[in-house]
Structure 1
């Protein structure tokens, strides 16, 4: 697991607890927070994967749900 991805597991556990205990507003907020955390982690990982020639690698979603990359 990558350095920061553990937080996604924690947020998932908190969300499951909130759902199981009828804390629906909290569960919704935790779901939103998980999306934000995943986006930020991906952003950090993208920066770390910059190509050696200094060009940034851009990722685009495709209809299959997996990203495809292209060089800027």
Structure 2
């Protein structure tokens, strides 16, 4: 799995987890999905992605988007 795919899988999992938590635990968990969405938007413009940095340190090989 490349770094790009790992970041996308992680972001999708965070959004889905947030939706589930907001439905079954407390509605304010939806703010986690908002944070994830805003982070994806800023990463698209700046190329800075903390999740990509973390996955890189874990040894995931580089993809095209995050170098």
- Structure with the larger RCO, 1 or 2 (CA within 8 Å, 6+ apart): 2
If each structure's helix is expressed as a fraction of its own residues, which one has the higher value? 2
Report which of the two has the higher share of strand: 1
